[in-house]
Structure 1
Amino acid sequence: MDLSTASLMAAKAYSYKAESLVKEYLLADSYALYTAVLGGILMCKMVYDITYLFSSFYYKSYASLTKLQKLEWNNRGMSTVHAIFITYMSVYLVFFSHLFSDQLDGPVTLRSSNLSNFTLGVSVGYFITDFAMIFWVYPSLGGLEYVLHHILSLVSIVYATYSGEGQLYTYMVLISETTTPGINLRWYLDTAGMKKSKAYLVNGALMVVVWLVARIILFIYLFYDMYLHYDQVMQMQTFSCILVFGVPTVLLIMNTIWFTKILRGLKKTMAKRE
């Protein structure tokens, strides 16, 4: 047996063990949520530290930032990674997996899986970490609207995970996290003194489009889907129904207010350039 064959067999054995670990431990009913929440918190810590190290080595002006600016810089790196993860998983579970397919028996509002619960648990870990940081330096990382947003998100995600109800609409709402990388990039460019750059303008225009699709149109589609599955929605527990109807409504109002501010900011930036 040559070296390449032995290496291939060793890689396959490692892959099999890793797959078994995920299926039998990480996604096991008794461990999934706790492992996921802890993993989400550890992920935040790791990304925060990596952002700090990377910025210290490759961004010369990082050292000149204030203590709070450095904290927010690293925090936004953390939120960007979470946004990419949860957007990918949410799009997959809602639109590409068969978990919430109408072709399956049973109400879509009462469906969940080990993978869906694990994913929500990771998100819970992130929101706990981010909420703790917001509270610690309040209001430097965000005011009352951010506190309200995180409380609604945490309550909804935790309850959807434990009850297994309304996860379809929880994931639809979480798709809105796709706007986070653009928001963070805008802050990075502004802090780096690149507010007059072409990248800042292009990012602002993309933010308007992505925000409109992910935080306005998608929410309208969510309510339309709830209308189509109204009988199934009403089979959930009372508190689940309150969350499913109430949380997206509050977030849609907040998203619309923020959208008008983003739109005004883009118009102001373009007017200055003209």
Structure 2
Amino acid sequence: MLVSEQATMEINSYQSQAGSLLKEYVLADPFIPYTSIIGGILACKMVYDLSQVISANYFKGYATLSRIQRIEWNNRALSTIHAIFITIISLNFVFWSDLYSDNQFDGLITLRSSLLSTFVLGVSVGYFLVDLGMIFWCYPALGGFEFVIHHLLSIVAVAYSMLTGEGQLYTYMVLISETTTPGINLRWYLDTIGMKRSKAYLINGVAMFFAWLVARIILFVYLFYHVYLHYDQIKQLHSFGLFLVSVVPLLLTVMNLMWFWKLFKGLKKILAKTH
């Protein structure tokens, strides 16, 4: 009985020390940007390794893939997990949280942030750094020049918002567009395993079209409208922050429209073959 009580006390002591360490160093305000980026990178490594193990054991066709296909398979699993994670968090911050609500009177909406919002942005920076590194490592197998530009813009914009706290609301609005990533990855998986002519491939294509329309076209229109309504606050940002809020979404919109046109032509071709 005494041994059991002693073990319990030791466990509680370790938990208390770990909690203090986490609070005073890992999650302390000055360290959050750096610990969150490192945490994001480590999480990416963990997901990538888990994808390798799970795919090798549960997908028969995985072993028949080429080396670069296996890398892309695991890379897409990683991007899917990040997309699901950041979409859920972004939707919560933009539409349901009080942090960026107009009904709150805690200063300018463009300068609001929290420990959680900053930490999540750091995790996302970690992911984009890992993914950009893999794009360079396997260039151009995992994406061409447009993907490099997209990731560089994302890293600069998200990192600036994380470090300064400026424009986090608009950063999260843009990150909602990651909701289209799982559909894109599923399309690649279906194509790779020989299901390009399946009904699942067609359904996924239609879902991708509407998801892209909502998350990368209509949502950006809403973003620009929100910027217009709050421009009196936005113009008080530093020059670089003003540039990121005004110009980066515009550049991403142009890229989104180009990709949307390709998606539309591809879906049109598939529907024509189906009929």
> Do Structure 1 and Structure 2 share a fold, with TM-score over 0.5?
yes
- Counterpart of 1:252 in structure 2 is 253
Q: Give the Cα separation in 1 of the matches to 2:34 and 2:218.
A: 34
- What secondary structure is seen at the aligned counterpart in 2 of 1:194? coil
The answer (yes or no) to whether the contact 1:149–1:251 under 8 Å persists in 2 is yes
Shift of the alpha carbon at 1:95?
1.3
Shift of the alpha carbon at 1:30?
2.2
Paired letter, 1:59: F
- Counterpart of 2:170 in structure 1 is 169
Count of matched residue positions in the alignment of Structure 1 and Structure 2: 266
1:70-127: CA deviation from partner (whole Å, max 9, x where unpaired): 0000000000010011111111111111111112231101111111110000001000
Alignment gaps of 5+ in structure 1: 1-11
- What secondary structure is seen at the aligned counterpart in 2 of 1:30? helix
The answer (yes or no) to whether the contact 1:27–1:115 under 8 Å persists in 2 is no
Q: Give the Cα separation in 2 of the matches to 1:30 and 1:106.
A: 21
The answer (yes or no) to whether the contact 1:124–1:158 under 8 Å persists in 2 is yes
Q: Give the Cα separation in 1 of the matches to 2:15 and 2:77.
A: 30
Moved more, 97-106 or 231-240: 97-106
Shift of the alpha carbon at 1:40?
0.6
Q: Give the Cα separation in 2 of the matches to 1:51 and 1:192.
A: 16
- Counterpart of 1:6 in structure 2 is none
Q: Give the Cα separation in 2 of the matches to 1:94 and 1:142.
A: 29
Shift of the alpha carbon at 1:31?
2.1
Alignment gaps of 5+ in structure 2: 1-11
Query: What root-mean-square deviation, in Å, do the aligned CA atoms of Structure 1 and Structure 2 show?
Result: 2.1
- Counterpart of 1:4 in structure 2 is none
Does 1:140 find its partner at 2:147? Answer: no
Q: Give the Cα separation in 1 of the matches to 2:268 and 2:13.
A: 57
The 1:264/1:36 distance shift into structure 2, 3 A limit, reads same
After superposition, residues 10-49 of structure 1 pair within 5 angstroms as: 25-49=25-49
- What secondary structure is seen at the aligned counterpart in 1 of 2:28? coil
Runs of 4+ in 1 over 3 A off after TM superposition: 12-27
The 1:163/1:198 distance shift into structure 2, 3 A limit, reads same
The 1:66/1:161 distance shift into structure 2, 3 A limit, reads same
Paired letter, 1:124: V
- Counterpart of 1:78 in structure 2 is 78
Shift of the alpha carbon at 1:225?
0.3
1:184-218: CA deviation from partner (whole Å, max 9, x where unpaired): 00000000100011111101000001100000000
Q: Give the Cα separation in 2 of the matches to 1:20 and 1:172.
A: 34
Q: TM-score, normalised by structure 1?
A: 0.92
